[in-house]
Structures are given as C-alpha cells and as structure tokens.
C-alpha cells in the first residue's frame, strides 16, 4: 500500500468541491495515501480528524503530490507554491476553461484513484521571471503590464538583449509562457506556443498602432520594458495577481526560467488534444 503524502488545495467555493473531497478521501483510504489540509482548507470544508487525513498543517515537508480542485487560478496558485520543489500538481477542473487541469470534474473519482496510485506522467513547465528594483516574481502563465484605471494610455518601449525593438502607445502588454499563451496572450491575438517550446511571447493590449506585432523571444534573451511616461506609473501583475508598479520613467526586466513547475498528466495526454478539447468546446457554446 502507498503511503503517499498529498496536499489538497481547493478554490473559494466549497459547496462545489465538497463532494469531490469526499471522493478523494475514499480514494486515499483505498490506496493508503495521507491527505494533508492546511488550516484554511480545514475550516473551509468543516473537516474533522479521520483516518487518512492530517489537518491544520502549515508545513509542506514530505509532500509528494498536490491535488488542486478549482479553475486555472487555483491551479496556478498550486503550481507557484510548489515551483522548484519537485512536487507535481494533479488538477481537477472546477472552473470555466481549465486548460491546465489534468481531468474534468466528471472524471474526478477515477482521476483521484489514478493520482494517488501514481498513475500519471509529469510535464515540466517553464516560467518567466519578473525583476525590478523592488523584487523578483515568478509567473507560470503570464506577466501583464498595463495602465492604471483612469489614466491615459501607456507609453511603453521594449528592448530585447539590449536592442530596442519598438515603442507602443497601448493599454499594456503581456509576456506569456507556452502554458500561458492560450490565455491573455491569445485574447490579444498573439500566437499559441505548444508546450515544450522554449521561450516566451510578447503581445500588446489594445495597441494604438497598425505595426505592433506579437513577438516570440528566445529563451536566453532578456526583455526590458521602459515606461516612457513622464508622469504616470503602470501596474504589473503576475498570473493575474498584483505584483509591483513601474514608476514613470522606470524599467523592469523579464527572462525565461526553465523547469519551474511540474504538472501531472494522464498517460497519452497531448497538448494538441487538450487544445482541441478546451477551445473546441468554447466555440460550440452559443
């Protein structure tokens, strides 16, 4: 019997994930795994001491797997949390698109059994690193730089490997990993990058130009973004969460960061099949 230690993370709507928690507990009893819940998850689901679970934990020591129940936001939180630790994330989609999810919710019971039995493959996901004078952040999906609400359009210059490439008046720009290229970048008209491709893509939010084009950047090159406004700062977000400001006249840098997170996939899963399933489904909804 397995003694796999598994951390459980869920989104903010416990009424949706509560039944799945019970299925997961059943799979843990069947496989001998131990489920770990932090204080917030314990409170959220009203859990009490039982066989095969540990409650109220604040440390991740010894965790071999994370099971995430939620949409892409929850999955990204789990991937960032375990970035660089060697702990894979097995994700069940309880959101809208769930492009990063391993299985959909209607496959949860079978998915839990396979996850706790170790019947999955691991996909290494790169990240992108954001740096400015105030700190360092890692994104698994994307970094967005955008004008503050109510301010004028942003005036952004961008250079790669020390060479200025262009200057654009726009609402902002997005820097996306291959995993994140199907999100904000795709909405900007940027290219989809297959998982396994090294590098990142830069696309623009509502550019006031006919010549602003998306650009795929080589993994060894550093992107520098300069806020050319003399008065107004811009905001930077990491995977949709506020990170920092770029002061008027300030700069920040973005670089490729290889092998940051591990995403569990069922054997036989392909990027192109996932792309067809997720976006084909969206196209059929009217």
- Is 108 a residue whose pLDDT tops 80? no
Please tell me the total count of domains within the chain.
2
Per annotation, catalytic residue among 38, 72, 142, 239? 72
Q: Among 256, 264, 262, which residue's Cα sits nearest to residue 82?
A: 262
**What is the tens place of the pLDDT at every residue in 172-218?**
999 999 999 999 999 999 999 998 899 999 999 999 988 889 999 99
pTM: 0.86
Return the pLDDT at 3.
64
Nearest-10 Cα torsion for 80, 85, 88, 94: -30
User: What span, in angstroms and rounded, lies between the C-alpha atoms of 69 and 46?
Assistant: 16
Residues 97 and 151 in one domain: no
Residues 83 and 131 in one domain: no
Q: Are strands 121-132 and 135-139 parallel, antiparallel or unpaired?
A: antiparallel
Residues 108 and 148 in one domain: no
Residues 77 and 182 in one domain: no
Residues 134 and 240 in one domain: yes
Window from 107-116, 132-141, 251-260 with minimum mean pLDDT: 107-116
Residues 58 and 155 in one domain: no
Q: For tokens 């993370």, what's the residue? A: 9
Q: Are 186 and 176 in contact (CB under 8 A)?
A: no
Domain, as residue range, for 131 = 127-258
The distance from CA 15 to its chain's CA centroid, rounded to whole angstroms, is 23
Domain CATH code at residue 146: 2.60.200.30
**What is the tens place of the pLDDT at every residue in 58-91?**
777 788 999 999 998 999 999 999 998 999 999 9
Domain CATH code at residue 78: 3.40.50.10330
Residues 82 and 200 in one domain: no
- Is 46 a residue whose pLDDT tops 90? no
Residues 48 and 106 in one domain: yes
Does 72 participate in catalysis according to the annotation? yes
Residues 66 and 153 in one domain: no
Q: For tokens 């131990």, what's the residue? A: 34
Longest dimension (CA), the chain: 64
């Amino acid at each position: 019997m397995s003694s796999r230690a598994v951390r459980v993370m869920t989104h903010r709507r416990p009424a949706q994930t509560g039944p799945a928690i019970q299925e997961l507990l059943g799979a843990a009893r069947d496989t001998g795994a131990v489920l770990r819940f932090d204080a917030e998850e314990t409170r959220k689901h009203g859990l009490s001491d039982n066989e095969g679970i540990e409650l109220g934990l604040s440390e991740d020591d010894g965790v071999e797997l994370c099971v995430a129940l939620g949409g892409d936001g929850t999955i990204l939180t789990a991937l960032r949390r375990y970035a660089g630790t060697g702990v894979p994330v097995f994700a069940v989609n309880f959101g809208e698109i769930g492009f990063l999810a391993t299985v959909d919710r209607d496959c949860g019971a079978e998915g839990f059994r396979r996850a706790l039995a170790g019947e999955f493959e691991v996909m290494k996901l790169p990240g992108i690193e954001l740096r400015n004078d105030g700190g360092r952040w890692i994104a698994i999906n994307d970094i967005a730089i955008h004008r503050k609400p109510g301010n004028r359009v942003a005036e952004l210059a961008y250079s790669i490997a020390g060479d200025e490439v262009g200057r654009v008046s726009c609402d902002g720009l997005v820097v996306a990993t291959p995993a994140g290229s199907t999100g904000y970048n795709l909405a900007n008209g940027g290219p989809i990058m297959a998982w396994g491709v090294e590098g990142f893509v830069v696309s623009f939010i509502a550019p006031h130009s006919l010549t602003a084009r998306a650009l795929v950047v080589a993994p060894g090159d550093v992107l520098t973004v300069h806020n050319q406004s003399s008065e107004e700062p811009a905001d930077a977000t990491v995977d949709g969460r506020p990170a920092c400001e770029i002061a008027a006249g300030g700069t920040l840098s973005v670089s490729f960061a290889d092998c940051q997170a591990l995403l569990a996939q069922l054997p036989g899963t392909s990027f192109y099949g996932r792309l067809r399933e997720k976006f084909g489904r969206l196209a059929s909804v009217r």
